């Protein structure tokens, strides 16, 4: 269910961007922070869904915790004194969590399994 919601949110974002003809960056630091937090919540839900699928091995569990923790710490660091630099760091950490979860989930087999 969460994957469906995440996919719907992503599709709505893409459709919204296509409707305007271009992706416009957020105009304020507050808007950008909100977008990164929403993206983190989606990435966290993707990671949780993958964990609950039963395909994660102990190694991938630890990696997911590491990526999720790094993203959360970066987001919290941005709250102390928000800046475009700290927001960029938070965004990168959130993107790394989403990328890792996507790679593991797209494998189609147990996490960490290597296919030839």
Q: Render pLDDT for 75-107 as a digit per residue (tens, 0 to 9).
A: 988 777 778 899 999 999 999 999 999 998 776
What's the pLDDT at 54?
A: 87
pTM summary value: 0.67
Q: How far apart are CA 8 and CA 55, in angstroms?
A: 24
64, 51 contact by CB (below 8 A)? yes
At 15 the pLDDT is 39
**Does residue 111 register a pLDDT over 80?**
no
**b or e along 2-20 (b: 16 or more beta carbons within 10 Å of the residue's beta carbon)?**
eeeebeeeeeeeeeeeeee
The conformation of residue 7, written as its DSSP 8-state character, comes to H
Please state the φ and ψ torsions of residue 23, each to the nearest 5 degrees: -85, 120
């Amino acid at each position: 269910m969460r994957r469906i919601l995440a996919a719907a949110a992503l599709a709505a974002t893409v459709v919204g961007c296509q409707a305007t003809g271009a992706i416009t960056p957020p105009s304020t630091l507050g808007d950008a922070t909100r977008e990164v937090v929403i993206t983190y919540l989606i990435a966290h839900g993707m990671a949780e869904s993958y964990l609950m699928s039963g395909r994660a091995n102990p190694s991938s569990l630890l990696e997911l915790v590491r990526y999720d923790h790094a993203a959360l710490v970066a987001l919290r660091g941005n709250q102390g004194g928000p800046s475009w630099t700290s927001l960029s760091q938070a965004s990168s950490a959130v993107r790394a969590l989403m990328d890792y979860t996507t790679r593991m989930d797209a494998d189609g087999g147990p996490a960490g399994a290597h296919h030839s």
